[in-house]
Structure 1
Amino acid sequence: MTRHRRSEETVRRLLDTALEVYPADFTLRAVTTRSGVSMGSVYHHFGSLEGLAAALYSRCMDELLDTLVAVTEQTADARDGVRRAVTAYLGFTASHPDKARFIHAAPYALDLGPYAERIAAAKASRLARLNAWIGARMAEGTVARLPAAQVEMLLIGPVAEVSRRWLAGAPDIDLDEAARVLPDRVWLSLGG
């Protein structure tokens, strides 16, 4: 195995292990003990526990955004794309609760502020694709012309909140029910 391949494998193992131990025992000791990777390797690749958390957050967010990009870019129809994005987000949460939990909780539980620029840069190309898709629908008049931040709140806000509550174990939250109800409601808020 080449040095580069070993390095990639070490990073993957550390990120996988960090996700496994989060939130119960998210410490460097837990990650290194469980992964079998040295503390020095953690510092070499990530600089700190927060650096590891920022990299894990980016990896999880990339997967979620890739899911949303894939479903929206499969359709030119605004209504169908918005509805698919809503159900895809909920589906991601149901299929990958560990990753969704990290996305929703880590920025509040850990100090990722010093890594904000790096995290934003990692998301930029995927967000640009989503914004291009929604922007084209705005240009054709099928989606209301709103600032990008407001579109994000209307499209992602409701499903993110449902996901957060479901992940927290709220007894009255059912992701299947949300997948039946929210797509059309979100579309009504965004339709042109």
Structure 2
Amino acid sequence: MGRPSRKHEILQAALACFTEHGVDATTIEMIRDRSGASIGSLYHHFGNKERIIGALYLAGVGEYAGMLDEGFRTADSAEACVKLLVTSYIDWVAANPDWARFVLHSRGRVEAGELGDQLREANRLHYGRILQALAGYREQGLLRPLPEDCFASIVIGPSQDFARNWLAGRTQSDLRECRELFAQVAWESVRAG
């Protein structure tokens, strides 16, 4: 595996600073020091702290979307696709707790910032791929007829709420141990009949 790009190194340094000091208290200088990047390199890749925040957010949701896209290539049933939405989310959160915390707490800031349109477009494309992966199963009547804008909340909402509490240290159960339970509940919530 090759050396991480300078851009990736800066994003990872930013995440470490945001985790340690908070997003608002972190300065460009802190990120520069942590990453070892020159100020010119940092501004070349991002321009300012808000763009770093947006890029880090988009990279996180992009990684989850990539996991889903890969999984959809091998999922061979409506049940497998629905469960994949949950298990991929839980797997990503469990593997990236600091990044997941950042994503869960930064959405509004990114939506309101310079990269808001980019985030909305990424979300539109991501949700479109999910709907496309499930379209044939919907047509076959294997999924409950639900408004499209409710589907994701029904499927991912419970695991996302639990993950938020797990990340905050407010659960007794480990998120990974609940993975199959949340996947089964999601399937039972949207399957036909």
TM-score range, shorter chain: 0.7 to 0.9
Tell me how large the CA RMSD over aligned residues is. 2.0
Q: 1:62: how far off? A: 0.4
> Which of 14, 21, 27 is 2:17 aligned to?
21
User: Is 2:185 the partner of 1:189?
Assistant: no
User: Is 2:85 the partner of 1:85?
Assistant: yes
* 2:171 counterpart SS class: coil
Q: 1:51: how far off? A: 0.9
Task: Give the letter for the 2:112 counterpart.
Answer: G
Alignment-derived partner of residue 32 in structure 2: 32
* 1:24 counterpart SS class: helix
Is 169-178 or 60-69 further displaced after alignment?
A: 169-178
Deviations 1:98-119 (A, max 9, x none): 22222212225x4541221111
Is 120-129 or 164-173 further displaced after alignment?
A: 120-129
The 8 Å contact of residues 110 and 119 in structure 2, kept in 1 or not, is answered as no
**Aligned pairs for 1:26-175 within 5 A:** 26-108=26-108, 110=109, 112-114=111-113, 115-175=115-175
Q: 1:126: how far off? A: 3.2
Runs (5+) with no aligned partner, structure 2: none
Identity of aligned residues (%): 27
* 1:176 counterpart SS class: helix
* 2:131 counterpart SS class: helix
Task: Give the letter for the 1:42 counterpart.
Answer: L
Q: Number of residues paired by the alignment?
A: 184
Tell me, in whole angstroms, the C-alpha distance in 1 between the residues paired with 2:40 and 2:145. Answer: 50
Normalising by structure 2, report the TM-score.
0.85
Runs (5+) with no aligned partner, structure 1: 1-7
